Structure 1
Amino acid sequence: MLAAGGSLVLLAAVLAFATARPRGLPEATVALPAAGIVLLLGWVPPADAGHQALTILPTLGFLAAILLLAHLADLDGVFTWLGARLARACRGRPRRLLVLTFAAAAGTTAVLSLDATVVLLTPVVFATAKRLELPPRPHLYACAHLSNSASTLLPVSNLTNLLAFSASGLSFAGFTALMALPWLVTIAIELGVFFRFFARDLTGEAGAPAGEIPPTPVFALVVLAVTLAGFGVAPLMHVEPVVVAAIAAVVLAARALSARRVRVPTLIAEANPLLCLFVLGLAVVVEAVSRHLLGEPLRALLPDTPGLPQLLLTAGVAAVLANLVNNLPATLLLLSVLGPHPAPGILLAVLLGVNLGPNATYLGSLATLLWRRVLLGQGESPRWRDFLRLGTLTVPTTLAASTAALWLALQLK
């Protein structure tokens, strides 16, 4: 009983601190001591914690590499160029700008992960709408929603996917093939809801010209394209995605360093090693919660066969859990419960739940909380009622439709 209650309290403390980040302190500030308490009290054997750490180290290495790659791409002007292209291509029409924003956010999330969409694309989209004198709300909320819902396509699109990928038994191409239809269905439903929800903001035309388009960052775009291709080809040569991402980051970093546009301490900071330590600490605390509190009830609830009702149940449980404890702990908890060799369909349904579910509340995803911070830094205050209403309209529909699409993809496999 002490282990169950104590581990739950520690998890709540870790998540509360990561959400609030008082005085800008890193998320690991509480996560690492909490993990230490769990180990000291014997709630998780050190040998098991060490094994789990070794298992997710490649995933954390990839996370660091992709964060650095996104920063270096931004340094090369990729997102500024993209914003200018969006402004020109929309021809002053807000509905067209929303469609283009959806495409840019979906592509950025899929290739460079949801953090790039939140931290790098969102300010660009905001500046683009302001430059055109268009209401920015639809386009900003699109970045928030697609940072979560468009992160189901590739194993590299979200840390949740990376954590589950090795357990799925699927190849990079196999994972993508199964998730492509759910991804497209989700984006189509989101776009339709956005058109109706923001109808008043999507009338009229731009009040200002688009402005000039900066030079195309050819080198960075080529590196990103080769990197994406490398993610698909590397498994065929038994090369981990982390190696591909690291090589791409080194190439762009070397170019930036030689041009003296960045310094080594900045590169280390952008790789965010403290975030990686946070995930390690969180994993240990979640393992304690799984062992002593939620593991058995979830094992009894979750199915092990990928029929349509079973997939819907799995996705629904994962979505609810993500909004209760945040999607990253929810993923770690469900992976612990499912064991080392779950049915791939069940595992992919879990990912639909933990990736789409967080659009229901601010607390469902760290990316959503970060998006809110980014907007506040831009002088824009998002309306929590709008976020909740949008979530009510989109999450149940996208979750059910994408899960049905996943079931169909599994039948056609």
Structure 2
Amino acid sequence: MRTAIVGSVLLVAGAVAAVTGILPLSDLVELWDRVWPILLFVLAITVVTELAAAAGLFTVIAQHTARWGRGRAWTLWLLVALLATVSTIFLSLDTTAVLLTPVVVVLARHSGLDPLPFALTTVWLANTGSLLLPVSNLTNLLAQHAMGQPSPFEFAALMAAPAVVAIVVPLAVIFVLYRRSLLARYRTGEGVAVDDPVLFRWSAGVVAALVPLLVSGLPVWIPAVAAALVLGAVFLVRRRGVLRVGLLPWQLIVLASGLFLFIEALHAVGLGTVLAAVSGEGESPLALLRLAVTGMVGANAIDNLPAYLALEPSAESPLRLAALLIGVNAGPLITPWASLATLLWHQRLTSMGVEIRWGRYMLLGVVVAPLTVVLSTLALAAFA
């Protein structure tokens, strides 16, 4: 409920700015055109994953993954890291946060392991692993346009070195923090029977069809909405009681909407000019670090997408845009609102009864975020 309250306050503040003329109507329309597909995608993909989880899809995936780990916790953890990385690169960070988190939690519990290192791996890689391709993150798509529409291969060539560093550093930190539990062994439990094979097959088929459609070039909200409607219809026939208002992440939608509107209002009164002075100029390693760190601070202060939009005018070259992406993609690991993926991840954990205090999350982020951003930016400067 606090999330919705904060979002409502920000929405009211943004609405006041629009009514008083501080935020021009043209800017408001442009903002709406940019963000409504994101919000609709989040809404639809959350419904899909909730229904797929109710059908037992994630439990079955967890059972198979546990067998591949062959009783070694560290092997299982690396498999989870691989899944999170591939999912983020090709399906985007929000998809990873929503789709993979239930798999990870069920997997750890099914194996008798602490779910926290696995859950942290998912959310950190959902953010830091989103540097390689344009489809990995909405900020990348925006930057690709600002770069002059390089091909995905050209984009990947620029981002490859920092992308590798941004994946390796968080994994190293997690292994150090949780090395005792990750060096343990586990026994694979017995398989759990699926309650409704029809629901399971429909859920598996819909998710399997959705994955390639999300990278097909279609606007991602279209296949996500279609998948939600199909699964909703199946559940309406087979298990109507699962369909409830609580499936919709309305609190997160309100918060995200408020953040977008409020930051756009600040941008209208000169936020971009101030940030340009802070972020500096030039393409030396120090200049790139300055921009990347500014992006990291901005993302943790106001969310990564508004931070990118505010700082984009200051990143006037492909190399500087790449540094900005490092800051706003790999840097938002400290505050809960730094990225929508983090909020989605936490919602999934809460719904499954896994607790992680925001205070502990932020303390860990204060260590790993600057380290990741600095080393990734240096890799960019060295290999660009």
Shared fold, TM over 0.5 = yes
Distance change in 2, residues 1:65/1:122 (3 Å): closer
Where does residue 263 of structure 2 map in the other structure? Answer: 286
For residue 220 of structure 1, report the CA deviation from its aligned partner. 4.4
Say whether residues 1:300 and 2:286 are aligned partners. Answer: no
Partners in 2 of 1:312 and 1:385 — Cα distance? 27
Partners in 1 of 2:262 and 2:297 — Cα distance? 20
What are the ranges of 5 or more consecutive residues in structure 1 without an aligned counterpart?
1-16, 232-240
Distance change in 2, residues 1:154/1:220 (3 Å): farther
Where does residue 209 of structure 1 map in the other structure? Answer: 189
Residue-by-residue CA offset, 1:226-281 (whole Å, 9 max, x unaligned) = 335524xxxxxxxxx41x65247536744763684688x96999786886676555
Partners in 1 of 2:314 and 2:276 — Cα distance? 7
Where does residue 316 of structure 1 map in the other structure? Answer: 293
For residue 357 of structure 1, report the CA deviation from its aligned partner. 1.6
Partners in 1 of 2:272 and 2:26 — Cα distance? 19
Partners in 1 of 2:83 and 2:129 — Cα distance? 11
Partners in 2 of 1:76 and 1:180 — Cα distance? 38
For residue 40 of structure 1, report the CA deviation from its aligned partner. 1.5
Residue-by-residue CA offset, 1:32-75 (whole Å, 9 max, x unaligned) = 33222001122122233223433555555665666566667667
Where does residue 317 of structure 2 map in the other structure? Answer: 343
Whether the aligned pair in 2 keeps the contact of 1:44 and 1:284 (CA below 8 Å) is no
Partners in 1 of 2:381 and 2:145 — Cα distance? 21
Where does residue 6 of structure 1 map in the other structure? Answer: none
Alignment of 1:219-238 (within 5 A): 219-220=205-206, 222-224=208-210, 226-227=212-213, 230-231=216-217
Look up the SS of the partner of 1:230 in the other structure.
Answer: coil
Where does residue 110 of structure 1 map in the other structure? Answer: 89
For residue 98 of structure 1, report the CA deviation from its aligned partner. 1.1
Residue-by-residue CA offset, 1:291-347 (whole Å, 9 max, x unaligned) = 435332211232444343222111111111222223233223223x438xx322222
Say whether residues 1:332 and 2:322 are aligned partners. Answer: no
Where does residue 101 of structure 1 map in the other structure? Answer: 80
Where does residue 364 of structure 1 map in the other structure? Answer: 338
Task: Give the counterpart letter for 1:153 in structure 2.
Answer: L
Task: Give the counterpart letter for 1:198 in structure 2.
Answer: Y
Task: Give the counterpart letter for 2:233 in structure 1.
Answer: L
Task: Give the counterpart letter for 2:314 in structure 1.
Answer: L
Say whether residues 1:85 and 2:82 are aligned partners. Answer: no
Whether the aligned pair in 2 keeps the contact of 1:132 and 1:210 (CA below 8 Å) is no
Partners in 1 of 2:250 and 2:379 — Cα distance? 37
* Alignment partner of 2:172 out of 192, 209, 212: 192
Give the TM-score normalised by the residue count of structure 2: 0.80
Q: How many residues align?
A: 375
Distance change in 2, residues 1:288/1:165 (3 Å): same
Whether the aligned pair in 1 keeps the contact of 2:71 and 2:186 (CA below 8 Å) is yes
Look up the SS of the partner of 1:359 in the other structure.
Answer: coil
For residue 94 of structure 1, report the CA deviation from its aligned partner. 1.0
* Alignment partner of 1:257 out of 233, 242, 254: 233
* Alignment partner of 1:381 out of 355, 371, 376: 355
Where does residue 7 of structure 1 map in the other structure? Answer: none
Could you say what the CA RMSD is over the residues aligned between the two structures, in angstroms?
A: 3.7
Task: Give the counterpart letter for 2:25 in structure 1.
Answer: P
Whether the aligned pair in 1 keeps the contact of 2:48 and 2:228 (CA below 8 Å) is yes
For residue 403 of structure 1, report the CA deviation from its aligned partner. 1.7
For residue 83 of structure 1, report the CA deviation from its aligned partner. 1.6
Distance change in 2, residues 1:73/1:106 (3 Å): farther
Partners in 1 of 2:36 and 2:88 — Cα distance? 22
Where does residue 118 of structure 2 map in the other structure? Answer: 139
Give the TM-score normalised by the residue count of structure 1: 0.75
Partners in 2 of 1:157 and 1:381 — Cα distance? 28
Structure 1 range deviating more: 143-152 or 296-305: 296-305
Task: Give the counterpart letter for 2:124 in structure 1.
Answer: H
* Alignment partner of 1:40 out of 19, 30, 35: 19
Partners in 1 of 2:228 and 2:301 — Cα distance? 39
Distance change in 2, residues 1:142/1:353 (3 Å): same
Distance change in 2, residues 1:269/1:199 (3 Å): closer
Partners in 1 of 2:26 and 2:366 — Cα distance? 43
Look up the SS of the partner of 1:360 in the other structure.
Answer: coil
Look up the SS of the partner of 2:21 in the other structure.
Answer: coil
Distance change in 2, residues 1:107/1:373 (3 Å): same
Whether the aligned pair in 2 keeps the contact of 1:70 and 1:116 (CA below 8 Å) is no
Whether the aligned pair in 1 keeps the contact of 2:66 and 2:188 (CA below 8 Å) is no
